[in-house]
Structure 1
Amino acid sequence: MAKILLVEDEANIRSFIGRGLTEFGHAVTTAGDGASAWERIAQERFDLLVMDIMMPKISGLDLCRRFRQYYGYAVPVLMLTALGTTEDIVRGLEAGADDYLVKPFSFAELNARIKALLRRPGTETAVVAPLLACGDLELNYASRRARRGTEEVDLTEKEFRLLEFLMQNQGAALSRQVLLKNVWERDFETNTNVVDVYVNYLRGKVDRDPARRLIHTVVGIGYMMQAK
Protein backbone atom coordinates (compact mmCIF):
# COMPACT_ATOMS: atom_id res chain seq x y z
CA MET A 1 0.00 0.00 0.00
CA ALA A 2 1.21 3.51 -0.82
CA LYS A 3 0.24 6.90 0.53
CA ILE A 4 -0.75 8.81 -2.61
CA LEU A 5 -1.63 12.44 -3.26
CA LEU A 6 -4.05 12.63 -6.22
CA VAL A 7 -4.34 16.08 -7.82
CA GLU A 8 -7.21 16.45 -10.32
CA ASP A 9 -9.41 19.50 -10.85
CA GLU A 10 -12.48 17.69 -12.24
CA ALA A 11 -14.45 16.46 -9.22
CA ASN A 12 -16.05 13.44 -10.91
CA ILE A 13 -12.75 12.21 -12.32
CA ARG A 14 -11.00 12.88 -9.00
CA SER A 15 -13.60 10.85 -7.10
CA PHE A 16 -13.56 8.04 -9.67
CA ILE A 17 -9.76 7.67 -9.67
CA GLY A 18 -9.60 8.03 -5.89
CA ARG A 19 -12.08 5.18 -5.38
CA GLY A 20 -10.19 2.97 -7.80
CA LEU A 21 -6.85 3.58 -6.09
CA THR A 22 -8.44 2.91 -2.70
CA GLU A 23 -9.82 -0.41 -3.99
CA PHE A 24 -6.25 -1.36 -4.94
CA GLY A 25 -5.29 -0.82 -1.30
CA HIS A 26 -3.70 2.62 -1.45
CA ALA A 27 -4.30 5.44 1.04
CA VAL A 28 -5.43 8.37 -1.08
CA THR A 29 -5.48 12.10 -0.30
CA THR A 30 -7.04 14.33 -2.97
CA ALA A 31 -6.66 17.95 -4.04
CA GLY A 32 -8.67 19.87 -6.63
CA ASP A 33 -6.00 22.30 -7.82
CA GLY A 34 -2.25 22.87 -7.72
CA ALA A 35 -2.35 25.40 -4.88
CA SER A 36 -4.33 23.08 -2.59
CA ALA A 37 -1.97 20.25 -3.48
CA TRP A 38 1.05 22.37 -2.53
CA GLU A 39 -0.51 23.03 0.88
CA ARG A 40 -1.04 19.29 1.44
CA ILE A 41 2.52 18.54 0.38
CA ALA A 42 3.79 20.99 3.01
CA GLN A 43 1.69 19.27 5.70
CA GLU A 44 2.10 15.56 4.89
CA ARG A 45 4.60 13.11 3.53
CA PHE A 46 3.54 11.05 0.50
CA ASP A 47 4.99 8.00 -1.25
CA LEU A 48 3.75 9.08 -4.68
CA LEU A 49 2.17 12.09 -6.40
CA VAL A 50 -0.38 11.50 -9.17
CA MET A 51 -1.34 14.75 -10.87
CA ASP A 52 -3.17 16.10 -13.88
CA ILE A 53 -1.28 18.53 -16.09
CA MET A 54 -4.01 21.07 -16.81
CA MET A 55 -5.20 22.52 -13.49
CA PRO A 56 -6.20 25.95 -12.13
CA LYS A 57 -4.00 28.16 -9.92
CA ILE A 58 -0.85 26.05 -10.38
CA SER A 59 -0.55 23.72 -13.37
CA GLY A 60 0.68 20.17 -12.97
CA LEU A 61 3.91 21.08 -14.77
CA ASP A 62 4.60 24.02 -12.46
CA LEU A 63 3.62 22.00 -9.39
CA CYS A 64 6.01 19.22 -10.40
CA ARG A 65 8.86 21.70 -10.99
CA ARG A 66 8.24 23.33 -7.61
CA PHE A 67 8.07 19.96 -5.87
CA ARG A 68 11.38 18.86 -7.39
CA GLN A 69 13.02 22.15 -6.46
CA TYR A 70 12.04 21.92 -2.79
CA TYR A 71 11.82 18.16 -2.14
CA GLY A 72 14.17 16.53 -4.65
CA TYR A 73 13.58 13.31 -6.54
CA ALA A 74 13.02 10.65 -3.86
CA VAL A 75 9.23 10.68 -4.29
CA PRO A 76 8.03 9.64 -7.77
CA VAL A 77 5.56 11.72 -9.77
CA LEU A 78 3.08 10.24 -12.25
CA MET A 79 1.41 12.67 -14.67
CA LEU A 80 -2.13 12.13 -15.96
CA THR A 81 -2.86 13.92 -19.20
CA ALA A 82 -5.33 14.14 -22.03
CA LEU A 83 -2.48 15.54 -24.11
CA GLY A 84 -0.79 12.58 -25.73
CA THR A 85 1.57 14.23 -28.20
CA THR A 86 5.30 13.64 -27.94
CA GLU A 87 5.87 17.34 -27.20
CA ASP A 88 3.45 17.27 -24.25
CA ILE A 89 4.96 14.08 -22.88
CA VAL A 90 8.50 15.47 -23.13
CA ARG A 91 7.42 18.66 -21.35
CA GLY A 92 6.07 16.58 -18.47
CA LEU A 93 9.24 14.52 -18.19
CA GLU A 94 11.41 17.63 -18.37
CA ALA A 95 9.37 19.17 -15.54
CA GLY A 96 10.48 16.27 -13.34
CA ALA A 97 7.77 13.64 -13.82
CA ASP A 98 8.89 10.01 -13.67
CA ASP A 99 6.11 8.64 -15.85
CA TYR A 100 2.94 9.69 -17.61
CA LEU A 101 -0.41 8.11 -18.44
CA VAL A 102 -2.69 9.37 -21.20
CA LYS A 103 -6.43 9.54 -20.48
CA PRO A 104 -8.51 7.44 -20.77
CA PHE A 105 -6.68 4.57 -19.08
CA SER A 106 -7.55 1.40 -17.17
CA PHE A 107 -7.12 1.13 -13.42
CA ALA A 108 -5.07 -2.03 -13.97
CA GLU A 109 -2.58 -0.04 -16.05
CA LEU A 110 -2.55 2.82 -13.52
CA ASN A 111 -1.86 0.42 -10.66
CA ALA A 112 0.88 -1.33 -12.65
CA ARG A 113 2.60 2.02 -13.28
CA ILE A 114 2.32 2.92 -9.60
CA LYS A 115 3.82 -0.38 -8.47
CA ALA A 116 6.68 0.00 -10.95
CA LEU A 117 7.45 3.51 -9.70
CA LEU A 118 7.39 2.43 -6.06
CA ARG A 119 9.77 -0.47 -6.77
CA ARG A 120 12.50 1.86 -7.96
CA PRO A 121 15.66 2.07 -5.89
CA GLY A 122 15.64 5.22 -3.79
CA THR A 123 11.91 5.28 -3.05
CA GLU A 124 11.09 4.70 0.60
CA THR A 125 8.49 2.05 -0.18
CA ALA A 126 10.69 0.19 -2.65
CA VAL A 127 10.46 -3.57 -2.27
CA VAL A 128 12.24 -5.59 -4.93
CA ALA A 129 10.88 -9.02 -5.74
CA PRO A 130 13.58 -11.58 -6.60
CA LEU A 131 12.02 -12.36 -9.98
CA LEU A 132 10.03 -10.67 -12.71
CA ALA A 133 8.17 -12.86 -15.19
CA CYS A 134 6.47 -12.41 -18.56
CA GLY A 135 5.29 -15.63 -20.16
CA ASP A 136 8.20 -18.06 -19.94
CA LEU A 137 10.75 -15.23 -19.54
CA GLU A 138 12.14 -14.65 -16.05
CA LEU A 139 14.39 -11.82 -14.88
CA ASN A 140 16.50 -12.48 -11.79
CA TYR A 141 17.58 -9.45 -9.73
CA ALA A 142 20.20 -11.37 -7.76
CA SER A 143 22.10 -12.78 -10.73
CA ARG A 144 21.26 -9.88 -13.09
CA ARG A 145 20.45 -12.47 -15.72
CA ALA A 146 17.42 -13.69 -17.59
CA ARG A 147 16.05 -17.09 -18.54
CA ARG A 148 13.70 -17.81 -21.45
CA GLY A 149 12.24 -21.24 -20.81
CA THR A 150 15.26 -23.43 -20.07
CA GLU A 151 17.75 -21.17 -21.84
CA GLU A 152 19.96 -18.75 -19.90
CA VAL A 153 20.25 -15.26 -21.37
CA ASP A 154 23.31 -13.07 -20.72
CA LEU A 155 22.54 -9.35 -20.65
CA THR A 156 24.61 -6.21 -20.43
CA GLU A 157 23.66 -3.86 -17.59
CA LYS A 158 21.78 -1.52 -19.93
CA GLU A 159 19.97 -4.41 -21.61
CA PHE A 160 18.99 -5.70 -18.16
CA ARG A 161 17.66 -2.27 -17.12
CA LEU A 162 15.66 -1.88 -20.34
CA LEU A 163 14.17 -5.36 -20.04
CA GLU A 164 13.43 -4.75 -16.36
CA PHE A 165 11.50 -1.55 -17.11
CA LEU A 166 9.56 -3.19 -19.94
CA MET A 167 8.62 -6.12 -17.69
CA GLN A 168 7.65 -3.85 -14.80
CA ASN A 169 5.20 -2.11 -17.13
CA GLN A 170 3.74 -5.11 -18.94
CA GLY A 171 0.72 -4.28 -21.06
CA ALA A 172 1.54 -0.56 -21.23
CA ALA A 173 2.62 1.15 -24.45
CA LEU A 174 5.86 2.94 -23.58
CA SER A 175 7.16 5.76 -25.75
CA ARG A 176 10.81 6.05 -26.65
CA GLN A 177 10.99 9.26 -24.58
CA VAL A 178 9.72 7.44 -21.47
CA LEU A 179 12.25 4.64 -22.00
CA LEU A 180 15.06 7.15 -22.45
CA LYS A 181 14.09 9.00 -19.29
CA ASN A 182 13.73 5.91 -17.10
CA VAL A 183 16.40 3.56 -18.45
CA TRP A 184 19.15 5.96 -19.53
CA GLU A 185 18.15 8.61 -16.95
CA ARG A 186 19.27 11.47 -19.13
CA ASP A 187 17.97 13.66 -21.92
CA PHE A 188 18.77 12.80 -25.52
CA GLU A 189 17.93 14.47 -28.78
CA THR A 190 14.43 13.36 -29.71
CA ASN A 191 15.66 11.86 -32.99
CA THR A 192 18.07 9.41 -31.33
CA ASN A 193 17.62 5.74 -32.21
CA VAL A 194 19.34 4.34 -29.11
CA VAL A 195 16.08 2.79 -27.83
CA ASP A 196 15.46 0.99 -31.13
CA VAL A 197 19.03 -0.27 -31.17
CA TYR A 198 18.79 -1.75 -27.67
CA VAL A 199 15.34 -3.21 -28.29
CA ASN A 200 16.85 -5.02 -31.28
CA TYR A 201 19.66 -6.28 -29.03
CA LEU A 202 17.08 -7.62 -26.58
CA ARG A 203 14.98 -9.22 -29.28
CA GLY A 204 18.06 -11.01 -30.55
CA LYS A 205 18.51 -12.55 -27.11
CA VAL A 206 15.00 -13.17 -25.74
CA ASP A 207 12.70 -13.00 -28.79
CA ARG A 208 14.42 -15.14 -31.38
CA ASP A 209 11.20 -17.05 -32.14
CA PRO A 210 8.80 -14.56 -33.86
CA ALA A 211 5.83 -16.79 -32.98
CA ARG A 212 6.55 -16.34 -29.26
CA ARG A 213 7.52 -12.67 -29.29
CA LEU A 214 7.18 -10.77 -25.99
CA ILE A 215 8.46 -7.33 -27.03
CA HIS A 216 5.94 -5.74 -29.39
CA THR A 217 6.21 -2.60 -31.49
CA VAL A 218 3.36 -0.12 -30.93
CA VAL A 219 3.20 1.92 -34.13
CA GLY A 220 3.43 5.65 -33.52
CA ILE A 221 4.31 5.23 -29.82
CA GLY A 222 7.13 2.83 -28.97
CA TYR A 223 7.15 -0.63 -27.42
CA MET A 224 5.09 -2.91 -25.19
CA MET A 225 6.04 -6.04 -23.22
CA GLN A 226 3.27 -8.62 -23.27
CA ALA A 227 2.83 -12.37 -23.46
CA LYS A 228 0.16 -13.20 -26.07
Structure 2
Amino acid sequence: MISILVIEDEKRVADLLKIGLEENGYQIMVAYDGEMGLRLFQNNAFQLVISDIILPKLNGFEVCQQIRQHDEQIPILMLTALGTADDKLEGFDVGADDYMVKPFDFRELLARVRVLLKRRAVSGTEAPKQIAYADLKIDLERQEVMRGDTPIKLSPKEYNLLVYLVENVEKVVSRIEIAEKVWSTHFDTGTNFIDVYINYLRKKMDKNFDVKLIHTKPGVGFILTSRL
Protein backbone atom coordinates (compact mmCIF):
# COMPACT_ATOMS: atom_id res chain seq x y z
CA MET A 1 0.00 0.00 0.00
CA ILE A 2 1.28 3.47 -0.88
CA SER A 3 2.02 5.51 2.25
CA ILE A 4 1.62 9.30 2.31
CA LEU A 5 2.78 11.73 5.01
CA VAL A 6 0.46 14.70 5.59
CA ILE A 7 1.93 17.64 7.55
CA GLU A 8 -0.91 20.04 8.36
CA ASP A 9 -1.60 21.93 11.58
CA GLU A 10 -5.23 22.77 10.74
CA LYS A 11 -7.11 19.71 12.00
CA ARG A 12 -10.10 20.16 9.71
CA VAL A 13 -7.88 20.13 6.62
CA ALA A 14 -5.75 17.28 7.98
CA ASP A 15 -8.88 15.19 8.62
CA LEU A 16 -10.22 15.95 5.14
CA LEU A 17 -6.97 14.81 3.55
CA LYS A 18 -6.67 11.71 5.71
CA ILE A 19 -10.25 10.53 5.14
CA GLY A 20 -10.30 11.36 1.43
CA LEU A 21 -6.95 9.75 0.64
CA GLU A 22 -7.68 6.65 2.73
CA GLU A 23 -10.96 6.24 0.84
CA ASN A 24 -8.86 6.12 -2.33
CA GLY A 25 -6.63 3.34 -1.04
CA TYR A 26 -3.69 5.22 0.44
CA GLN A 27 -2.19 4.75 3.89
CA ILE A 28 -1.96 8.10 5.70
CA MET A 29 0.06 9.38 8.65
CA VAL A 30 -0.58 12.92 9.92
CA ALA A 31 1.77 15.35 11.66
CA TYR A 32 0.51 18.63 13.13
CA ASP A 33 3.81 20.55 13.16
CA GLY A 34 7.06 20.62 11.20
CA GLU A 35 9.22 18.86 13.77
CA MET A 36 6.71 16.03 14.16
CA GLY A 37 6.56 15.74 10.36
CA LEU A 38 10.33 15.34 10.11
CA ARG A 39 10.37 12.72 12.88
CA LEU A 40 7.68 10.68 11.15
CA PHE A 41 9.50 11.01 7.82
CA GLN A 42 12.79 9.80 9.30
CA ASN A 43 11.21 6.82 11.08
CA ASN A 44 8.83 5.56 8.38
CA ALA A 45 8.83 4.80 4.65
CA PHE A 46 6.66 7.15 2.59
CA GLN A 47 6.10 7.43 -1.14
CA LEU A 48 4.81 11.06 -1.07
CA VAL A 49 4.65 14.06 1.28
CA ILE A 50 1.88 16.67 1.43
CA SER A 51 2.91 19.65 3.57
CA ASP A 52 1.41 22.98 4.54
CA ILE A 53 3.83 25.93 4.60
CA ILE A 54 2.67 27.84 7.69
CA LEU A 55 3.43 25.28 10.42
CA PRO A 56 4.40 25.45 14.10
CA LYS A 57 8.05 24.83 15.08
CA LEU A 58 9.39 24.37 11.52
CA ASN A 59 7.71 25.91 8.50
CA GLY A 60 7.00 23.95 5.34
CA PHE A 61 9.97 25.41 3.45
CA GLU A 62 12.35 24.23 6.18
CA VAL A 63 10.67 20.82 6.30
CA CYS A 64 10.93 20.43 2.54
CA GLN A 65 14.59 21.42 2.55
CA GLN A 66 15.47 18.89 5.26
CA ILE A 67 13.47 16.12 3.58
CA ARG A 68 15.41 16.79 0.38
CA GLN A 69 18.68 16.27 2.26
CA HIS A 70 17.53 12.73 3.08
CA ASP A 71 15.65 11.86 -0.11
CA GLU A 72 16.07 13.72 -3.41
CA GLN A 73 13.36 11.74 -5.22
CA ILE A 74 10.28 11.59 -2.99
CA PRO A 75 7.49 13.80 -4.40
CA ILE A 76 6.52 16.78 -2.22
CA LEU A 77 3.23 18.61 -2.70
CA MET A 78 2.95 22.00 -0.98
CA LEU A 79 -0.54 22.87 0.21
CA THR A 80 -0.96 26.38 1.59
CA ALA A 81 -2.90 29.61 1.80
CA LEU A 82 0.13 31.49 0.44
CA GLY A 83 -0.53 32.08 -3.23
CA THR A 84 1.88 34.75 -4.50
CA ALA A 85 4.43 34.06 -7.22
CA ASP A 86 7.32 34.59 -4.77
CA ASP A 87 5.86 32.04 -2.35
CA LYS A 88 5.55 29.47 -5.11
CA LEU A 89 9.06 30.10 -6.39
CA GLU A 90 10.50 29.71 -2.89
CA GLY A 91 8.65 26.41 -2.51
CA PHE A 92 10.02 25.11 -5.79
CA ASP A 93 13.52 26.33 -4.95
CA VAL A 94 13.66 24.26 -1.76
CA GLY A 95 12.59 21.14 -3.64
CA ALA A 96 8.79 21.03 -3.83
CA ASP A 97 7.37 19.22 -6.87
CA ASP A 98 3.92 20.79 -6.97
CA TYR A 99 1.95 23.53 -5.25
CA MET A 100 -1.75 23.94 -4.46
CA VAL A 101 -3.42 26.95 -2.88
CA LYS A 102 -6.18 26.66 -0.28
CA PRO A 103 -9.09 26.34 -0.62
CA PHE A 104 -8.58 23.40 -2.96
CA ASP A 105 -10.75 20.93 -4.82
CA PHE A 106 -9.99 17.47 -3.40
CA ARG A 107 -10.50 15.88 -6.83
CA GLU A 108 -7.75 18.06 -8.26
CA LEU A 109 -5.46 17.26 -5.34
CA LEU A 110 -6.10 13.55 -5.85
CA ALA A 111 -5.28 13.87 -9.55
CA ARG A 112 -1.99 15.63 -8.74
CA VAL A 113 -1.11 12.98 -6.15
CA ARG A 114 -1.59 10.28 -8.79
CA VAL A 115 0.56 12.15 -11.32
CA LEU A 116 3.38 12.63 -8.80
CA LEU A 117 3.31 8.97 -7.76
CA LYS A 118 3.27 7.83 -11.39
CA ARG A 119 6.24 10.04 -12.22
CA ARG A 120 8.16 8.63 -9.26
CA ALA A 121 7.42 5.07 -10.42
CA VAL A 122 8.69 5.86 -13.91
CA SER A 123 11.83 7.57 -12.58
CA GLY A 124 12.67 4.41 -10.64
CA THR A 125 13.22 2.39 -13.83
CA GLU A 126 16.65 1.81 -15.41
CA ALA A 127 18.09 5.12 -16.61
CA PRO A 128 21.43 6.43 -17.93
CA LYS A 129 23.91 7.75 -15.37
CA GLN A 130 25.01 10.71 -17.45
CA ILE A 131 23.72 12.81 -20.32
CA ALA A 132 25.76 15.25 -22.39
CA TYR A 133 25.34 17.77 -25.17
CA ALA A 134 28.01 20.04 -26.66
CA ASP A 135 30.19 21.02 -23.66
CA LEU A 136 27.35 20.37 -21.21
CA LYS A 137 27.51 17.28 -18.99
CA ILE A 138 24.97 16.20 -16.39
CA ASP A 139 25.75 13.50 -13.82
CA LEU A 140 22.28 12.12 -13.11
CA GLU A 141 23.34 10.13 -10.05
CA ARG A 142 25.08 13.02 -8.29
CA GLN A 143 22.86 15.66 -9.93
CA GLU A 144 25.95 17.66 -10.88
CA VAL A 145 26.16 19.91 -13.94
CA MET A 146 29.27 21.02 -15.83
CA ARG A 147 29.91 23.23 -18.83
CA GLY A 148 33.38 22.30 -19.95
CA ASP A 149 35.45 22.38 -16.76
CA THR A 150 33.09 24.81 -14.99
CA PRO A 151 30.64 23.42 -12.39
CA ILE A 152 27.15 24.94 -12.53
CA LYS A 153 25.24 25.11 -9.25
CA LEU A 154 21.47 24.79 -9.76
CA SER A 155 18.43 24.66 -7.50
CA PRO A 156 16.38 21.42 -7.65
CA LYS A 157 13.80 22.93 -10.05
CA GLU A 158 16.45 24.55 -12.24
CA TYR A 159 18.16 21.16 -12.46
CA ASN A 160 14.93 19.35 -13.37
CA LEU A 161 14.14 21.96 -16.02
CA LEU A 162 17.62 21.64 -17.52
CA VAL A 163 17.38 17.84 -17.63
CA TYR A 164 14.04 18.08 -19.42
CA LEU A 165 15.48 20.50 -21.99
CA VAL A 166 18.48 18.24 -22.60
CA GLU A 167 16.24 15.18 -22.91
CA ASN A 168 14.44 17.12 -25.67
CA VAL A 169 17.58 18.66 -27.19
CA GLU A 170 17.14 20.37 -30.59
CA LYS A 171 13.37 20.29 -30.06
CA VAL A 172 11.13 23.26 -29.23
CA VAL A 173 9.14 22.62 -26.04
CA SER A 174 6.17 24.77 -25.05
CA ARG A 175 5.47 26.33 -21.66
CA ILE A 176 2.57 23.90 -21.22
CA GLU A 177 4.84 20.90 -21.87
CA ILE A 178 7.37 22.19 -19.35
CA ALA A 179 4.67 22.85 -16.74
CA GLU A 180 3.29 19.32 -17.16
CA LYS A 181 6.60 17.45 -17.32
CA VAL A 182 8.74 19.42 -14.86
CA TRP A 183 6.08 20.65 -12.41
CA SER A 184 3.38 18.03 -13.08
CA THR A 185 0.75 20.74 -13.19
CA HIS A 186 -0.91 23.50 -15.19
CA PHE A 187 -0.19 27.02 -13.97
CA ASP A 188 -2.84 29.68 -13.70
CA THR A 189 -3.22 31.78 -16.83
CA GLY A 190 -0.96 34.81 -16.70
CA THR A 191 1.74 33.41 -14.39
CA ASN A 192 5.32 33.45 -15.64
CA PHE A 193 7.00 30.65 -13.69
CA ILE A 194 8.49 29.03 -16.77
CA ASP A 195 10.01 32.28 -18.04
CA VAL A 196 11.42 33.05 -14.59
CA TYR A 197 13.17 29.69 -14.40
CA ILE A 198 14.39 29.90 -17.99
CA ASN A 199 15.98 33.23 -17.07
CA TYR A 200 17.54 31.68 -13.96
CA LEU A 201 19.04 28.94 -16.14
CA ARG A 202 20.32 31.36 -18.77
CA LYS A 203 22.19 33.41 -16.17
CA LYS A 204 23.92 30.31 -14.85
CA MET A 205 24.28 28.26 -18.03
CA ASP A 206 24.92 30.82 -20.80
CA LYS A 207 25.92 34.22 -19.43
CA ASN A 208 29.65 33.50 -19.14
CA PHE A 209 29.98 31.25 -22.17
CA ASP A 210 30.45 32.13 -25.83
CA VAL A 211 28.07 29.44 -27.09
CA LYS A 212 24.52 30.00 -25.85
CA LEU A 213 22.45 26.85 -25.37
CA ILE A 214 19.00 28.04 -24.22
CA HIS A 215 16.96 29.94 -26.78
CA THR A 216 13.43 31.34 -26.98
CA LYS A 217 11.14 30.74 -29.93
CA PRO A 218 8.70 33.66 -29.64
CA GLY A 219 5.10 32.52 -29.36
CA VAL A 220 6.13 28.85 -29.31
CA GLY A 221 8.44 27.95 -26.44
CA PHE A 222 12.10 27.19 -25.76
CA ILE A 223 14.83 25.06 -27.28
CA LEU A 224 18.21 23.83 -26.07
CA THR A 225 20.64 23.83 -28.97
CA SER A 226 24.17 25.00 -29.83
CA ARG A 227 23.24 25.65 -33.47
CA LEU A 228 21.57 29.07 -33.14
TM interval, shorter chain, is: 0.5 to 0.7
1:158 equivalent in alignment to 2:158:
no
The 5 Å alignment of 1:105-116 reads 105-116=104-115
State the SS of the aligned residue for 1:80. Answer: strand
SS of 2:66's equivalent?
helix
Question: What does 1:29-48 correspond to in 2, within 5 Å?
Answer: 29-48=29-48
Query: What is the Cα deviation at residue 95 of structure 1?
Result: 1.5
Percent sequence identity is 32
1:55 lines up with 2:74 in the alignment: no
CA distance in 2, matches of 1:188, 1:17: 39
Partner of 2:220: 201
Q: Secondary structure at the match of 2:219?
A: helix
Instruction: Name the counterpart of 1:72.
Output: 71
Check conservation: 1:119, 1:127, Cα contact below 8 A.
no
Alignment size in residue pairs? 165
Structure 2 length as normaliser, TM-score? 0.60
Task: State the alpha-carbon separation in 2 of the partners of residues 127 and 67 from structure 1.
Answer: 18
Contact map agreement 2:179 2:185 (CA 8 A) in 1 = no
Give the corresponding residue for 1:176.
192
Whether the 8 Å contact between 2:48 and 2:76 is mirrored in structure 1 is yes
Backbone CA RMSD of aligned residues = 3.5
Any gaps of 5 or more consecutive residues in structure 1?
129-143, 145-154, 190-196, 203-228
**TM-score, structure 1 normalization:** 0.60
Residues 198, 40 of structure 1: CA spacing in aligned structure 2 closer, same or farther, 3 A cutoff? farther
**Alpha-carbon offset, residue 187 of structure 1:** 5.2
Q: In structure 2, list runs of 5 or more residues that go unmatched.
A: 126-166, 204-215, 222-228
Question: Deviation of residue 114 (structure 1)?
Answer: 1.1
Shift of 1:43: 0.9
- 1:79-120 CA deviation, whole Å, 9 max, x = no partner? 011010111111111111111100001011101111221222
Are the equivalent residues in 2 in contact too, given 1:5–1:48 (CA < 8 A)? Answer: yes
Tell me the distance in 2 between the aligned counterparts of 1:29 and 1:59: 18
